[in-house]
Amino acid sequence: MNNKYWRGVAMTLIAAVCWGIMSPIAKVLLNAGISLMSVMAFRALFVVITSGPLIYFSKGMKAFRPERRMLNFYLLSGILSVVFSGGGFLMSLKYLSVPEALILHYTFPLVTLMGSLFITHEKPTFLQVISGFLIVSGVYLGMVGGEKTFSGISIPGLMWGILAIIGISGQALVARRMCKGQKTDQLILLFFAHLSGGIVLVLGKSWMMGWTDLSNFTVMLFGLMVLQSFSGSLLAYGLFYTALKYVPAATVSLLCTLEIVVAVGLTALLLGQLPSVQEITGCLIIIVAIICATIRTSQRDEGNI
C-alpha cells in the first residue's frame, strides 16, 4: 500500500515539472503576441483531439455516454481546472502586479488544507500546515523580494485571483473525493474536463477579446504550443488526476508547488544566467516544505491507502 502512496507522489512531482516547463514557453508565446487565453483554448482542444480517439478505440462509444452523476463530475472538473484555475490566474495578471498575483495564487495549498477537513474529511498534519506557510514565504522571498506589494490592490484582480484559488484547490478536493468514493476513469475525466472547459474558454474569449492574435502564429510557435499542450495538459493533468487516487488532496497541492522551482531553474537555464540569491533561497524553502509534508504525511496515511 505504501508503494501506491509513493507512486502518487512521483506522479504529482512529474506533473509539477511539466507545469514548470510551461512558464518559459508561455513567456515566448506572450512576447510573440499570442494571447494566453488562446494558448489555453488550444491546450484544451489538443487534449480533446488526442484523448478522444484513445477512448474510442480502447473503450468504445459507450465511454462517451457516462451516467449523469459522473458527467456532472467531469463537467465540474473542467470548469474548476481549465476555466477557474487557468483563466482566473491569467485575468488576475491583467489587474495585479506579478508579485501580487504570485503571492495570492500560492496560498492555494492552505485553502486545500482547510477544504480537506470538510470535503474529503482528511485531517492535515501540523507539518502540512507549516509547509503551506513556508511555501507562501518562499514565494515572497524568492519571487518578490523587497518589492512593495498589496498597495492599493485592485479589487477585480483580487476577485480573479480568488477565483483561480477556488479552481485549483477545488479540482484537487473534488477529484480526490470522487476517486476515494468510487472507481473513476482518469482518461475519460481528462477528455470531458477539457471539452467543457475548452468550450467555456472559446466562448469567453470570443466575447471578451476576439481572435486577432491568431495572425501572429508561425510554425515554430505552433510547435511550442503542441509541446506545452502535451506536457502541461495531457500528461500533467493525467498524472495529477491519477495521483489523487493514492495521495490526499492536501499533499498533492503542496507537491504541485515544485512547479515554481522548475520554472525558475529552467528560465535561468534558457537565459544562460544563474538565479539570484533571493530566488535560490525561496526555492530551497519551497523544497524543504515539500519534503517535510511528504515524509510525515506518508507515515500517517500509510494505513489509509
Per-residue pLDDT of the chain (305 residues; tens, 9 = 90+): 578 888 999 999 999 999 888 878 887 888 888 888 898 999 999 999 999 999 999 999 999 999 888 899 999 999 999 899 988 887 887 787 766 777 888 899 999 999 999 999 888 888 889 999 999 888 888 766 655 555 567 888 889 999 999 999 999 999 999 887 677 888 999 999 999 999 999 998 898 889 999 889 899 999 999 998 999 899 999 999 999 988 999 999 999 999 888 888 887 787 677 788 888 888 899 999 998 887 754 444 443 44
Q: Look at the block and give the residue holding cell 484513445.
A: 54
Q: How far apart are CA 136 and CA 142, in angstroms?
A: 10
pLDDT of residue 140: 83
- What pLDDT score does 12 carry? 94
Q: Is the dihedral of CA 70, 76, 81, 87 positive or negative?
A: positive
Q: What is the pLDDT of residues 73-99, one digit of tens each?
A: 999 999 999 899 988 887 887 787 766
SS3 per-residue string spanning the chain: CHHHHHHHHHHHHHHHHHHHHHHHHHHHHHHCCCCHHHHHHHHHHHHHHHHHHHHHHHHCHHHHCCCHHHHHHHHHHHHHHHHHHHHHHHHHHHHCCHHHHHHHHCCHHHHHHHHHHHHHCCCCCHHHHHHHHHHHHHHHHHHHCCCCCCCCCCHHHHHHHHHHHHHHHHHHHHHHHHHHHCCCCHHHHHHHHHHHHHHHHHHHHHHHCCCHHHHHCCHHHHHHHHHHHHHHHHHHHHHHHHHCCCCCHHHHHHHHCHHHHHHHHHHHHHHCCCCCHHHHHHHHHHHHHHHHHHHHHHHHHHHHC
pLDDT at 235: 94
Q: What is the pTM of this model?
A: 0.86
Q: What is the pLDDT of residue 152?
A: 63
Structural domain spans, the chain: 2-304
> Residue 24 and residue 248: Cα distance in Å, rounded?
29
Please write the tens of the pLDDT for every residue from 234-273: 999 999 999 998 899 999 999 999 988 888 888 778 767 7
C-alpha cell at 8: 502518487
Instruction: Please give the pLDDT value at position 234.
Output: 93
Predicted pLDDT at 299: 46
Task: State the Cα–Cα distance between residues 69 and 79, nearest whole angstrom.
Answer: 16
Instruction: Give residue 144's pLDDT.
Output: 65
- Give the pLDDT score at 151: 58
